[in-house]
């Protein structure tokens, strides 16, 4: 499996950039549908809060271009935000996800919010016809 993660957070981007890239809860299902339909993406996860926006994708042979997804979904030039983006691949992407889940990468270390969200994910919160079995968003 090939994993890729791209995002911005409270350490890398000012509030105006995070707000521009935020995906409201009411639009997460559509965003997930578009992510899993994006060329090169098999399955995905979107995390969008007031302090971070991250997109994790399991890609076909590492071929998913998540910057192109950002450009398409937000209708922005990703170069505008390039200085604020971080990207992880393979085991580093999964390690980052676990650091976030354990709140080691949070403004408040020990905050249980992300872990609680991950624990509740027994079924994808988007309609089955819009996701693959392992595609989730929160």
Catalytic (active-site) positions: 50
Look at the alpha carbons of 105, 62, 55, 121 in this order and tell me if their dihedral is positive or negative: negative
Strand, helix or coil at 78? Answer: helix
- Tell me the Ramachandran region of residue 91: left when phi exceeds 0, alpha when psi lies from -120 to 50, beta otherwise: alpha
**Residue 24: exposed, middle, or buried by beta-carbon count in 10 A (0-12, 13-18, 19+)?**
exposed
What is the C-alpha separation between 102 and 35, in angstroms, rounded? 25
Mind giving me the DSSP string for 15-38? HHHHHHH---GGGHHHHHHHHHHS
């Amino acid at each position: 499996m090939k994993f890729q993660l791209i995002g911005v957070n409270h350490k890398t981007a000012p509030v105006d950039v995070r707000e521009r890239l935020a995906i409201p809860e009411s639009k997460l299902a559509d965003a997930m549908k578009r992510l899993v339909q994006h060329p090169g993406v098999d399955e995905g996860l979107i995390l969008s809060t007031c302090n971070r926006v991250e997109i994790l994708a399991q890609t076909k042979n590492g071929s998913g271009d998540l910057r192109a997804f950002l450009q398409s979904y937000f209708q922005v030039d990703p170069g505008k935000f390039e200085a604020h983006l971080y990207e992880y691949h393979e085991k580093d992407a999964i390690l980052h996800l676990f650091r976030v889940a354990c709140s080691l990468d949070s403004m408040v270390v020990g905050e249980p919010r992300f872990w609680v969200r991950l624990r509740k994910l027994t079924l994808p919160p988007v309609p089955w016809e819009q996701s693959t079995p392992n595609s989730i968003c929160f």
